Amino acid sequence: DYSFVKAHILEQCSIYQPKCIAFDRKFSPYIVPELEDEGIEMSPFGQGYYEMSYPTKEMEKAIVSGKVIHGGNRCLRWQMSCVKIDRDPADNIKVTKNRNKQGQQVDGVVAAVMAFGEMLKDTSDEMTLEIITL
pLDDT in tens, 17-63: 998 999 998 888 889 999 999 999 999 999 999 999 999 999 999 88
Beta bridge partner(s), residue 22: 43
Where is average pLDDT lowest: 33-37, 67-71, 84-88? 67-71
Q: What is the pLDDT of residue 134?
A: 44
CA-based angle 41:115:34, to the nearest 5? Answer: 30
Q: What percent of the chain has pLDDT over 70?
A: 91
For residue 127, the model assigns a pLDDT of 55
Using an 8 Å Cβ cutoff, are 131 and 115 in contact? yes
Confidence (pLDDT) at 3: 92
Length of the chain: 134
The dihedral region occupied by 23, where left means phi > 0, alpha psi between -120 and 50, and beta the remainder, is beta
Residues 6+ apart with CB under 8 A from 83: 95, 96, 97, 98, 106, 109
- Intra-chain end-to-end CA distance of the chain, in Å: 13
- Cβ contact 50:28 at 8 Å: no
